[in-house]
Amino acid sequence: MSTILSKEFKMRTGRILILRSAQAKDASQIIKLMKSVIAEGPLTLAEPDEYSATVSSESKKILRFKSAPGKIYLVAEVGNDIAGFLSFDNWDTRRTAHTGLFSVFLKKQWRGMGIGRILVQGMIDWGKANPLNRKISLYVFSTNKNAIALYKKLGFKIEGKFLNDMIINGKYVHSVAMCIFTKKP
């Protein structure tokens, strides 16, 4: 079982944000959110016709992450709106279960208000307290300067780059690998 206790944050605007573990009922909002981010263009691996997740597959994923000791799935909620979500998926074998990859996505209208920072810090705090987790990794497009700035501010270090890993709008983009250790090696 891997979940966090819900936590409230007061945003700069005065509105209350709830950071909590995702529930199966969030799947439909998460799918809509993800489709809107994909439709923006250059931010995701999948293009619109390549995204195959459904409400049913996402709710199964949420339940799977809840019952796995080394995974976490978080949402940031303002009122009844899921402003953003983060999922961290650890690897499968005993030799690699202490680490894994995460991704985080916010609806466009909720960006630049500190919500990404709350989600990523929430995952780091979970990783520090979780008995299995020791390292959290991510891949980010070299063009995604905002995301790279956020990860660096929270203590992530660049491990390396996968050169010309993607072609976005006809141009090569590198994939930047970053990580943070949640326990001392």
Question: What is the contact surface with ligand COA in residues (CB under 6 A)?
Answer: 37, 43, 103-106, 111-117, 140, 144, 146-147, 149-150, 153
Q: What are phi and psi of 79, to 5 degrees?
A: 60, -130
Point out the residue whose Cβ comes nearest to ligand COA: 116
Distance (Å, whole) CA 85 – CA 77: 9
| Strands 72-78, 7-10: pairing kind | unpaired
**Nearer CB in complex with ligand COA: 28/144:** 144
CB of residue 97 vs ligand COA: minimum separation in angstroms?
22
Q: Which helix (H) or strand (E) holds 86?
A: strand 81-90
How near is the Cβ of 44 to ligand COA at its closest, in Å?
7
Which residue has 């990580």 as its token pair? 179
Min dist CB 172 to ligand COA, Å, is 18
* Closer residue to ligand COA, CB minimum distance, 15 or 153: 153
Enumerate residues 6+ apart whose C-beta is below 8 A from 102. 86, 87, 88, 89, 120, 123, 136, 137, 138
C-beta of 8 vs 131, nearer to ligand COA: 8
Least Å from the CB of residue 147 to ligand COA: 4
